[in-house]
Amino acid sequence: MDIDTPLKTVIRTTKAHLSKLEKMNIFSVRDLLEFFPRAIESTDIASDLQNIQLDTKNTLSGKLVDFRREKTPRGKLLGKAALVLDDNTTVEVIWFQIPYVLRNLKDESQVFLVGKVERSYGMIKILNPEVHLQKNVHVGTLRAIYSESPPITSKWLREKISGLLALVSEFPEILPSQILKKESFLEKSAAIRAMHQPKNSEQWHQARKRLGFEEIFEVQVRILQEKILREKNTINPYRIPLDAQQVKKDLSLVPFQLTTAQKKALYKILKDFEKESPMHRLLQGDVGSGKTVVAFLASLPIVRKKFQVCFLAPTEILAQQHFASAIKFFPSEFSVELLTGSVSETKKKSLKSRLKNGDIDVLIGTHAVLTEDTRFKNLAFAIVDEQHRFGVEQRSLLARNNAHMLAMTATPIPRTLALTVYGDQDISVINELPPGRKPVITRIVADPKTTALCNKFIDDQIQKERQIFWVCPLIDESDTIEAKNVKAEFDRISNEVFPNRKVAFLHGKMRPKEKDRVMRSFRNKEFDILVSTSVIEVGVDIPNATVMVIENSERFGLAQLHQFRGRIGRNDMQSYCFLVVGKPDDAQKTRLRSLEKSHNGLYLAEIDLKLRGMGELYGTRQSGLPDFKCADLNNVEMLQKARDWGQAILQEDVTLKKYPKLKKHIDQKPVYF
């Protein structure tokens, strides 16, 4: 047995447990040992009254006596007993669910109980405690607290992991010896063991710091190595000098004044075209900040040199929108075409032939462009809108001719992420909205009175021929999550709340053609309200939409909510966003107040990253970002230190031949972005 042995051949457990582990992406011994606890807690034993701490969790040791079952007036079965401590203090014990171990327990058995202790009517009680018959991995020491997903519990994980810790020595040490020595880090095997069974809290924090550093360090090495090798081994075959006079002429053709931030971003891109190596730049800006027009303006010097441009969009309807804009923007002497999945095979064949011959100057498309038989004659500039929706290998098809690469995203990028996963790209930020745009007025809706006023306001907006986005977290009903779902909300809104209005629904499980049809109908004002999941986060512009309602808003991150409301307010009309809270007393309201006060996407993303982590901000599985388990992305000092060490190691040996374990680890992992 080694750390790559499948878990199902190693541990004895139920099919339900194994099935849940697979859903948690835990398949091997390695995966389980790298499923680190989110916290630790003390289970130091108190065997007398003097050492008990009220209103918090305690571990009590004593004799359990007078165990009995009682029924409440409502017929619910409770377990009750008394625990006699060493000093003869009696603690009343109450179980709301009777543990299996009590079914055959003898009276006056020595036990360890772990639970919250409180004083009520002069009596000390411990409520619904765990029961242990002896000291083990659960009592008498620091113990690990894991993120739970029933039937996988912290108790189950502690027991299974404890039997596998002997294998931690098999984890390869990828950190160079000079880093371990200089930073006084634990060795990897010791750090993994300490994460699950620490001797003290200081050791646990040291282990977490060391493993978190490694996570950041390996990302830094990967992206910095990629950047160094790219700049070293690739020559820019499409060097175009910046023509300031021509840029002024191009700007005069745009029917509106660019913001200062847009002009700065355009200048940076045009200067990149002059450099010796191809451009790799990320353009970040809120929804509606004008990233597309910057990309189009940057494309003009490319097509004038008889080179080609490709603009990649994540959805067909967004590609069609960009195509319609491109037709209006580019002078008639340039050929602009659209390639999506719905284009007929005959036309696709014709388009690809013309593309290969150089007869198409600008190609707008979706994933349909990313096929092996799509060949450009001289692709010089590739623009990828919301690049995390495309795989690394897919995007590399566009970069195979050493084309300049511009990625665009409406997702705010905190400074700490700019130091890590985006470190191989130059970043430009458009932090201004075009003139005339009004900030979206945002309000929290958390009680029946406010809900009634909100619905009345929405009806008034529809009366004025405005349209409404209505966002829900789920598609179907869920037994485990109390959140509004699209189908139920569609029925409720169309039949009960607004029976005289036209309502439609949209969700991610619909076929692409059906989604596009619904969005086109909405854009054409064929209905008033669109009930949708988060698929509208990146989508088509609906200039007539002035209201967005977001159900169970506490379930979304601030950055995602900010992107949602960016779908409205796309004109000079005042727009409104209503954040409906699932429960009136929901503690998340404090976090959501930030959206009422701020329209700065970067500021909101920083709050999100601090409070909820990167998984909530970006959805690591969806975006391809690394799923950090220990790294603290708010620790700028650690991030900078990891980056500095990465640069030092690569300056010494960019191929990592001197560090074979690190090289093997880096080569096995995917490239991010």
If asked whether residues 473 and 585 sit together in one domain, one would say yes
If asked whether residues 329 and 471 sit together in one domain, one would say no
242-252 per-position pLDDT tens digit: 999 999 999 98
Whether 533 maps to a domain, the answer reads yes
Task: With beta carbons less than 8 A apart as the criterion, state whether 299 and 293 touch.
Answer: no
Whether 190 maps to a domain, the answer reads no
If asked whether residues 127 and 153 sit together in one domain, one would say no
Number of structural domains (the chain) is 4
Which helix (DSSP H) or strand (DSSP E) does residue 385 occupy?
strand 379-385
74-116 per-position pLDDT tens digit: 888 999 999 999 999 999 999 998 888 888 888 889 999 999 9
Query: Residue 88 sits in a domain of what CATH number?
Result: 2.40.50.140
If asked whether residues 563 and 469 sit together in one domain, one would say yes
309-325 per-position pLDDT tens digit: 999 998 887 888 899 99
Closest CA to 332 of 308, 305, 361, 354: 361
If asked whether residues 509 and 575 sit together in one domain, one would say yes
Whether 634 maps to a domain, the answer reads no
Place of tokens 């194994």: 18
> End-to-end CA distance of the chain, in Å?
35
589-646 per-position pLDDT tens digit: 778 888 998 887 778 877 877 776 655 544 444 444 567 889 887 788 888 899 999 9
What DSSP string runs through 550-618? ETTGGGS-HHHHHHHHTTS--SSS--EEEEE-SSTT-TTHHHHHHHHH---HHHHHHHHHHHH-HHHHH
Whether 458 maps to a domain, the answer reads yes
- Domain extent, residue 96, equals 44-140
pLDDT top residue among 288 and 526: 526
The rounded distance, in Å, linking the Cα atoms of 17 and 288 is: 46
Rounded to 10 deg, the angle between the 589-597 and 601-612 helix axes is 170
Lowest mean pLDDT among 36-50, 165-179, 382-396, 479-493: 382-396
Task: With beta carbons less than 8 A apart as the criterion, state whether 417 and 220 touch.
Answer: no
What pLDDT, on the 0 to 100 scale, is given for residue 437? 76
* Residues 470-482, mean pLDDT to the nearest whole number: 68
Query: Residue 559 sits in a domain of what CATH number?
Result: 3.40.50.300
Whether 668 maps to a domain, the answer reads no
Size of the chain in residues? 673
Whether 630 maps to a domain, the answer reads no
If asked whether residues 503 and 355 sit together in one domain, one would say no
Cβ-based burial of 10 (10 A; exposed 0-12, middle 13-18, buried ≥19): middle
If asked whether residues 555 and 463 sit together in one domain, one would say yes
If asked whether residues 65 and 27 sit together in one domain, one would say no
How many CA atoms lie within 13 Å of 142's alpha carbon, on the beta-carbon side? 17
Nearest 10 degrees: Cα torsion 160, 165, 167, 169: 160
From edge to edge, which strands make up the β-sheet containing 576-580? 441-445, 576-580, 545-550, 467-471, 529-532, 503-506
pLDDT at 493 over 90: yes
Where helices occur in 254-310 by DSSP H, the ranges are 260-272, 291-304
> Average pLDDT of the chain?
88
Give the list of residues 6+ apart from residue 242 with CB closer than 8 angstroms, or none: 267, 270, 271, 273, 274
Percent of the chain's residues with pLDDT above 90: 58
What pLDDT, on the 0 to 100 scale, is given for residue 432? 83
If asked whether residues 498 and 584 sit together in one domain, one would say yes
358-372 per-position pLDDT tens digit: 999 999 998 888 888
The domain boundary residue, chosen from 568, 598, 628: 598
The amino acid at 288: G
What pLDDT, on the 0 to 100 scale, is given for residue 393? 56
If asked whether residues 17 and 75 sit together in one domain, one would say no
If asked whether residues 488 and 353 sit together in one domain, one would say no
If asked whether residues 67 and 13 sit together in one domain, one would say no
Whether 205 maps to a domain, the answer reads no
Cβ-based burial of 198 (10 A; exposed 0-12, middle 13-18, buried ≥19): buried
